[in-house]
Structure 1
Amino acid sequence: MTIQLEKYKYDLDQLLVNRLEQLNLPQDFQQAVQYAINAGGKRLRPILMQETFRVFSEETYKVTDVMLALELVHTYSLIHDDLPAMDDDDLRRGQPTIHKKFDEATAILVGDGFLTYAFQLIANSSYLDAEEKVYVTQQLSQASGFEGMIQGQFLDLKSEGETISIDQLELVHRYKTGALIRAAVKIGAYLGGAIPPQIESLDRYAFYLGMTFQIQDDILDVTGSEDELGKPIGSDISLHKNTFPSLLGLEQAIEWREDCMTKAENALNEANVNNENLIAFINLFGRRNN
C-alpha cells in the first residue's frame, strides 16, 4: 500500500494529544480525555480526507484542523456506541471502553466534549476562510447529526431482534457508517479545489467505500479473530443485530462487498481521478482484518 498510514497516524495522534492537553480541564477529566484519544484507532477517515485533498492540492496544512475535528467526531461516536444503553461493549481495540475504565457519566461527557470541540476547531481554524468554514460545518454536522450518523444509530438499535430487508439494512449503514466517510471525501475534495461534477462522483466513490467498510466489518464479526479485532467475535449475533451475512449468507455478503469495491473504483474513473492512494483505500477497507 502506498499510503503512509503509520506516519500519518503518528502525526495525527501527536496533534490530537497536544491540542487536548492545552485544554484547561480538571486533572482526572483530562486523564479520561487522554485515555479516549490514546485508545488506538487507525485514523482512516481523516487520512482519507487528506488523500482526497491531495488529489487536487499539496497544501495539506489547510485540512489539518478539519482532520482533527473529523477524528474527534468519530471518536465521540464510538464512545457513545459502546455505552450500556447502546451496544454495551466492554472492549474497544483490546482495551476497556471508557465507561468501563472510568464510569458512564464520564464517558458521556468525554464524548459530548469531543463533538463540540470538533466544531470549535473548525470555527477557530486560521487555515480556512469564512465560506470554507460554512461548507465544512454544514457537511460535518449533517453527517454526524439527524440526517446522518445519529439516524443510522437509531435505526440500528430499533432493528435489533427484528426482521428487516436488505434495503433497510443498507439504509442503516448509509447513515451510521457511510455518512462520515462521505463527509471526509466531500470536504477533502471541496477544500482541495475539485469542481462540482468531480465532487459528485467522489461522493459516489465514498458511498461504496462506506458500504465496503461495513460489509467487511460484518464479515469479520463472523470470520475474524478476537486478537486482531480487539473485541469478542460474534458480538453482533449476541445483540441480535441484522448484518449482511445474517441476511444474505456469508458467501453472498462477500459478493456484495466485491461489487461495492468495483463500483467505488468505477466512481473514481467517473471523477477522472486515477489516484493510487484512493484506489488503495478500496482494498484497505475491503481486505482489512481488523
Structure 2
Amino acid sequence: MTLTGAGAAFKKLEITDVVKSYGSKCVLDDIDLHVSHGEFCTLVGPSGCGKSTLLRLILGQEQSDQGSILVEGQPVGFPDPYRGIVFQKYSLFPHLSVLDNVLLGKHLTHQRWWMPWRRQSDWKEEAMSLLERVRLAEAAEKYPHELSGGMQQRAAIAQALIMKHPILLMDEPFGALDPDTREDLQIFLLDIWEKEQLTIFFVTHDLEEACFLGSRLLVLSQYYTDDRGNGPSVNRGGKIVADHSLKNSAGSTVIKDQVEFRDLIESVRREGFSPEIRQHVDNFNLNHPDSFRTLNEY
C-alpha cells in the first residue's frame, strides 16, 4: 500500500482505507479522508456511489469491512451526542409539539429534574429563536401531523442545530423545501456554521447547493478506472474522485450567478457524474491540502 498527500497530521476526523460492501456489492472502495475542525464538507455523487453509507459509517450506525475511522483520534464507536444527524426524511416524535421536539435533545442530555429554571428558560428562548429563523415560530405548539412535510423537515433541522454537535451530518436536509425557503436556510446554516465553528458533512444531489455551501467539496463516484481492468468481474465501489478547497462564508447568493461558480459546477459534473468520463485513480483532482490517497495492490 502506498500513501500520497498529507494524511499524517492529527485531524478532527480520520478515515483511512475504508471499504464497505453489502453482500457481493462493493459500495465504498478505499475511502481516504482527513477533516480538520470547522470544515463544511459538502458531498455529491451519482446515485449508488455510497454517500449516505459514508455518513452512516461516520455516525457509527454501521461499521466498515476494512480500514479505520477515528474521531478526535479515537475509534468511531457507536452513535453518541458528539455527532448529530439530520436525515433525508424528518425524524420528529408525533406526541410532542414542535417546540418540545426541538428541546428534546437538551432534556435528554441533562437531568431535567434538577436543572435550574433559568437554564430551561434559556433553552426555550434559544429554541424559539431557531424556530423563528426557520419560519416555524407560529407553529411552536403544533404537532408534527399538523405540519406539511417541508415544515416538519425545518423543525428537524432546528432540533439538530440547537444541540451544537461538534460534528453535524446532514443527508439531503433541504430536498423537500421550496426554493425560497431552501436558499434562506442555506444562508442560515452558513451563519450557524461560522458562529459555532461546527464541522459539517452535508450530502446533497444539488451541485449548486454543494458549491455554494461548502468550504470543501467532495465528489464521490463509482465512475473511474484503475489497474484492475474492466468488465463485470471488476467490483468497483465509490471513491473520492475530487476534493476541492472552496472559499466560503455566510455571504450573498450573488456568487451563484458568477461565471467561475457555474464553471465549478460543470467541472464537478465531468469529474464524477458521467459514466463516459472515467478518470484514472492517478489523475483524481485532489487539490485540498488535507487530501491523501491509499492505493492498495489489487
**Larger RCO (CA within 8 A; separation ≥ 6):** 2
Q: TM-score band, normalised by the shorter chain?
A: under 0.3
Which is helix-richer, 1 or 2? 1
Which is strand-richer, 1 or 2? 2
TM-score, normalising length from structure 2?
A: 0.27
Rg comparison, structure with higher value: 2
